[in-house]
Amino acid sequence: MIFYGNWKLNKTTKEVMEFFDSFNNFVTAEKICFFVSPALIQTAVEKSKFPIGAQNICYADFGAYTGETSIVQALDLKCQSVLIGHSERRSKFFETDEVVNKKVVLCAPHTECVLCVGETKEQLNEKYQVLEKQLFTALLGIEKQSLQNVIIAYEPVWAIGTGLTPHVDEIRDTIDFIKAILKSKYDVKFKVLYGGSVNSKNVAEFKKIDNIDGFLVGGASLDAQSFEDLIKA
Ligand code: PGA
């Protein structure tokens, strides 16, 4: 299974070193990656036994984009994955589906992309339409070969950092829907992760969902022991 940690805007270089001093001792066959802020990529790559990814990437690959990080730089730093369209990027930095699309177009030919989609609380009644639009817009114009590099993270916005989660049946149905519409449109079998308040206590239930490929974990990935417990649960 896939267990990806999203550290958001957390940790100093010292804390990154301390995390991997502990977590590097963890022996596991699961697929793991940590999405860290651009300022920590170099330290994390040097210190971690596990792959490191970028939390966000500019929609252009170079030029007059003050404050941004490019896919060229992220790959240069040995990032092995990029997180695109996280709900915090969408809500706090006004990223539209069209901007998300530009980023996937730029990154997917070169590296693994974790594309985040999810409905807000207000959109719950129209969840499937919202997800379909987010997915189809984000993946517009991407060649089949590059689509194989895309992993979907289904993260209901109302579940992120709130301690709330959908019922396991709802997660199963939503993942079924995502896989089915993508298979029929692109003839590609996408992997789908669930994210939103996953922790070492509730993850065992979620692992039983037959169509789930793994998890994108925020808060519970920040502490080495708690992330290890979650993966082993
Ligand atoms: P959370 O965050 O696990 O803290 O809810 C998940 C995410 O934002 O990817």
6 lines ligand 1 (CB under 6 A): yes
Which atom of ligand 1 lies at the shortest distance from residue 159's CA? 5
Ligand 1 centroid distance, CA of 64 (Å):
31
Q: Beta-carbon neighbour count of residue 75 at 10 Å?
A: 16
pLDDT at residue 125 in the model: 97
Q: Beta-carbon neighbour count of residue 81 at 10 Å?
A: 21
pLDDT at residue 135 in the model: 98
pLDDT at residue 207 in the model: 98
Span 139-187, pLDDT tens digits: 999 999 999 999 999 999 999 999 999 999 999 999 999 999 999 999 9
Nearest CA to ligand 1 atom 2: 218
pTM, entire model: 0.97
Phi then psi dihedrals of residue 70, to 5 deg = -100, 160
pLDDT at residue 109 in the model: 97
Q: Active-site residue 110, yes or no?
A: no
**Is-contact 198 217, C-beta < 8 A?**
yes
Cα 163 to Cα 144: distance, rounded to the nearest angstrom: 37
Using CA atoms of 221, 172, 165, 83 in order, give the dihedral in degrees to the nearest 10: 40
Which atom of ligand 1 lies at the shortest distance from residue 197's CA? 5
**Which tokens hold the place of 55?**
């939390």
